[in-house]
Structure 1
Amino acid sequence: MAKGKKVYFPNLDGLRFIAALLVIVHHIELSKGEMGLPNIFGNGVDSDYQIGTIESVVHVIGKLGVVLFFSLSGFLITYLLMIEKERTNTIAVGKFYLRRVMRIWPLYFLIVIFSLFIAPHIEFLSIPEYDIATVQAHLWIKAFLFLFFLPNLLMVGLGIIPFAGQTWSIGTEEQFYLMWPWIMKKAKNKMAVLWTIIIVYLVISGLLNAHLSDGYIYQLAKRFWGVFNIDIMAIGGVASVLVYEKRDRILKVLFSKTTQYINLAIIILLIGLGVHFPVLHFEIYGVLFTILIMNLASNPHSVLNLEHKWLKYAGKISYGLYMYHSLVILIVLKTLQKMDIYHDYLLYPLSVIVSVIFATLSYEYFEKQFLKLKKKFVIVDSGAKV
């Protein structure tokens, strides 16, 4: 590619919106449970649900939405870093960090500050199991963990903070961003390094799940490792290397219409039945999602087309959708109760619509101000067709 040429992967914005939607549906049912209302997780979110039931479907899609986000990040960030290395013979790690700061930090800290210091004092936003004393217990430890982007450690160690529970995945993403530019900058054989990361992650997972100890630190490490998911991003990175290096023999198979239809059918079938694999659950879905991403982004003969204006815009505001939706769901739920018109037929569409409104306003009037600053640190411009 010529230096300065913009990089654009079609369909990925639409896929981001779908990922956010999966998470929202899952969290609507969680919110109903927190408010003591009948919900799909009547037996608890960690219960085993029979495959083929609506309970099993809603149970799996929440984390799978995040797995889809992780797969997208691994694919896209890896590719952009490789292009930067090709064009400049290096990777400007500092500028990479500043780009991530401008995109992630403003909304992240807005939600964290609101959830930790403001929401607990608003009666309308109260949740039975999360009173002020509960939310603000160990307050400065929680603030410290949020400040240093360890909300995933906070979640497994001290529990969820209402309206900021979803930030656990932002922590995982930031930890990925912290190490990834260095890996891409130093690695001679990127494919070998990526496979090493995947294998090491799985080996450590196996050891942590072998019940070698009942000690607190061991159990904390086990729970943390379960939400670290760096291997999913590495799987996305493997796909990115395949596309970047134009490994045609492999791409010919993965880009064939037969492979696309089979992969899509498997994804629909597994999610439609709510299948949860006892072993390598997220990795299996991660591979399937990554094959889908490769075709949507890089295959001119993709059998799916998500390049619709409304879907592209919905994808652009998907970060806001992800960050605001927990707050919105509770506001909508309590408003419907107050008006004595509460029903799922209203709760679901209104939660999505109002989340879109919140995310749109945030994107246009808050996030864009920082995105303008982000452009100053761009080396590989993405967002327009190659």
Structure 2
Amino acid sequence: MRVYFKNLDAIRFIAAFLVVLHHAQYFKEENGLDTWKFLNPAMADTGRMGVNLFFVLSGFLISYLLMKERQDTGELSLRNFYIRRILRIWPLYLAFGIAMVFLAPYVLHLFNAAPEYDGSTVATNLIFLLLFAVNIQLAFFPYNKGIVEISWSVCIEEQFYLVWPLLMIAFRNRLKTLFILMIGIGFLSKTLCIVLPYFFPALNTRELFGINYLLLFDKLELFGTGMFAAYILFHKETYEKLLGILMNKGIQVVMLVLTFLFVFSVIRIPALSDNYYDHFIHAFLFGYLMLMAVSPNSILRLEQPLFKTLGKVSYGIYLFHTPVCQLALIAFMKFFGRSPNILLYEIIYPLTCLVLTCAIAYVSYELFEKHFLKIKSRFAVVQTRL
């Protein structure tokens, strides 16, 4: 049995694109090169929104495929699941991460963009990289800023994948209960950041929120909402009336506009976003987006060859974009100087970052990742090229 969801390749690329936009703007701002000041607030949350979209998308796809596998075979093969995830995530993660850990500090130091090459820092980065614990490192330990920190979200996904099939088995007849538990734990993890300092004054609320943001607990509502959207789709006969109402084209337009406004911070609720409670809003919007994308009457028309190709290589886009953005900015400043230039730094620079990153990701996919994906397909009960 083969499963393919229309529009999701493009949405995967859009998620990566949002993260690229954020970091291209961030590196400019950090170096005092932002000419259009209005871009700073507009792009301030696109990275977080892109990552959250990835998490909802992962929860949706993985959950649907596990439901389908259990329906077709009567059980879930943990062995095959973990082999598939290893073959999809580990090769590029390790190749990219190890190269960055050893080479990036040296290269950036040559351009005076990083401290002197430090063996102990490299060793620390390598250990956390190999343990798929870069998010733990960022939360609690020293790290080499700007090198492999982008892989923190990949580590969270791997931690999610480690427990998810076990939870799907344990709650196989109570997935709605599992969804409620995930929402509750996500809410509790954030609320504790506010409550704990009242009992332990040495703790700092802001720091606790920063730590919690880097941990799996903070993302459970995103993964869980993706799962719940998959659950509704998988049982679409049961939820036919609800889906008919939700997928009204007028509602689709309204929800798409709302999503756009939240992504670019046109709508921002500081009381929620400053403490990451707005993840529940993101989860709802992106969960709806999953259902809208695959709906027979979806208003989205994203099944274009370019979008589908970029969606396939979005994992590489996500990993490669930070060193590309940093090195491209170093080159731009070296050849064109630091004088504010709208055409150069607000248009050509981010476009260069995007094009170079996509090109590198495509080459990586064709020459490296594809070999592992072919092996991965041998362990798939439900065939998909995702």
TM-score, normalised to structure 2's length?
0.88
The one-letter code of the counterpart of 1:150 is A
- Pick from 32, 35, 38: which aligns with 1:37? 32
Matched residue SS, 1:122: helix
Distance in 1 between the 2:99 and 2:112 partners?
A: 15
Corresponding residue of 1:170? 154
Provide the residue aligned with 1:351 in structure 2.
353
Cα 1:249–1:192, aligned 2, differ >3 Å: closer, same or farther? farther
What's the offset of the Cα at 1:84? 0.6
Deviations 1:203-243 (A, max 9, x none): 12211232343557998765332233122010111111111
Partner residue, 2:213: 226
Q: Identify the residue that residue 48 of structure 1 maps to in structure 2.
A: none
Q: In structure 2, what is the Cα distance between the partners aligned to 1:101 and 1:32?
A: 35
Whole-Å separation in 1 of the counterparts to 2:45 and 2:205:
26
Question: 5+ unaligned residues in a row in structure 2: which ranges?
Answer: 339-343
**Equivalent residue letter for 1:275:** I
Instruction: State the partner residue of 1:46.
Output: none
| d(CA) in 2 for partners of 1:383, 1:161 | 34
Aligned to 2:22: 26
- Partner residue of 2:263 out of 271, 275, 282: 271
Determine the structure 2 residue equivalent to 1:114.
99
2:73 corresponds in structure 1 to 88
Query: What is the alpha-carbon distance in structure 1 between the residues aligned to residue 131 and residue 205 of structure 2?
Result: 22
Which of 2, 8, 11 does residue 6 from structure 1 map onto? 2
Checking the alignment, whether the CA contact within 8 Å between 2:194 and 2:205 is kept in structure 1 is no
Tell me the distance in 2 between the aligned counterparts of 1:191 and 1:76. 17
CA distance in 1, matches of 2:104, 2:135: 20
Equivalent runs, 1:169-318 vs 2, <5 Å: 169-187=153-171, 188-210=173-195, 211-212=197-198, 213=200, 215=202, 222-227=209-214, 228=216, 229-246=219-236, 247-277=239-269, 278-279=271-272, 280-297=277-294, 299-318=295-314
Name the SS for the 2:298 alignment partner: coil
Conserved in 2, the CA contact under 8 Å of 1:107 and 1:367?
A: yes
2: CA distance, partners of 1:214 / 1:284:
30
Contact kept? 2:108, 2:114, Cα under 8 Å: no
- TM-superposed CA distance for 1:41, in Å, is 11
Deviations 1:164-196 (A, max 9, x none): 221010011111101111111221211111211
Deviation at 1:252, TM superposition (A): 1.9
* 357-366 or 334-343: bigger deviation: 334-343
1:14 deviates by: 0.3
Distance change (3 Å), C-alpha of 1:103 and 1:355: same
Query: Contact 2:10/2:308 (CA < 8 Å) preserved in 1?
Result: yes
Amino acid at match of 1:226: Y
Q: Is contact 2:43-2:264 (8 Å) kept?
A: no
CA distance in 1: counterparts of 2:208 and 2:95, whole angstroms: 28
Aligned residues: 366
Alpha-carbon distance between aligned partners in 2 of 1:127 and 1:70, rounded to the nearest angstrom = 35
* Helix, strand or coil at the partner of 1:377: coil
What is the CA RMSD across the aligned residues, in angstroms?
Answer: 2.4
> 1:341, CA displacement in angstroms?
6.8
Q: Identity of paired residues, percent?
A: 30
Could you say if the C-alpha distance between residues 242 and 276 of structure 1 is closer, same or farther in structure 2, counting changes exceeding 3 Å?
Answer: same
CA distance in 2, matches of 1:159, 1:283: 30
Q: Partners in 1 of 2:110 and 2:360 — Cα distance? A: 16
How far off is 1:257 after superposition? 1.3
Report whether the alignment pairs 1:142 with 2:108.
no
1:118-129 to structure 2, matched below 5 A, reads: 118-123=103-108, 126=111, 128-129=113-114
> Which position in structure 1 is the counterpart of 2:317?
321
The alpha carbon displacement at 1:302 in A equals 0.2
- Structure 1 length-normalised TM: 0.88
Aligned residue type for 1:55: N
- Report what 1:152 is aligned to: 135
